[in-house]
Amino acid sequence: MNMNPGTLTALGDFPRQLEAYYAEVPVEFRNWRPPSWEGIPSEPFTPIEQVCHVLDIEVDGYHVRLRRALQETNPDLVSLDGERLARERRYATANVAEVFSAFRRARAKTLGLIAELSPQQFARTAQFEGRSVTVRSLVHYLCSHDQQHLAGLQWLLGRIEAGR
């Protein structure tokens, strides 16, 4: 069995949605931090940091995780420290057009990989965050991560609007 069509559709549409949500953030709020992060449905990142984080998770997280799960026997996959990456890679000063371009390419690569997988490859296992996962479940986790960051941007927009 291949991936669920709904999941593939969501993964394919995510770059467009991310760009659209980010475009709604007023320019002067792209690096804005609320007084409290309580209730944010994603990691506590500013709007620009949300976008940069999604790119790094795609490339340094899921590309590596999927490749290792497909090529190694039950590998132990690592979680990334998003806050450390945000500091080291200076998310706050990123060129968002370049980030979106790189993300579109990275997501196309992810979708191309997924499209080629056999049922046996989707069933390959790995260990991630203390539990057993399959390649198929990793794809679902990636989709979930996407949705968390769309929700995070909407939450930030709500906080911005509430403070105006």
Enumerate domains of the chain plus CATH numbers. Answer: 5-163 (1.20.120.450)
Q: What is the pTM of this model?
A: 0.95
Considering only the C-alpha atoms of the chain, give the largest distance between any 2 of them, rounded to a whole number of Å. 53
CA distances 50 to 44, 58, 145, Å, are 8, 12, 11
Phi-psi category of residue 118: left, alpha or beta, with phi > 0 → left and psi -120 to 50 → alpha? beta
Q: How confident is the model at residue 1 (pLDDT cuts 50, 70, 90)?
A: low
What's the mean pLDDT in 52-64?
Answer: 98
End-to-end CA distance of the chain: give it in Å, rounded. Answer: 49
Structure tokens at 91: 């998310």
Side chain identity at residue 130, one-letter code: G
Partner residues linked to 77 by β-bridges: 128
Whether residue 146 has pLDDT greater than 70: yes
Partner residues linked to 131 by β-bridges: 128
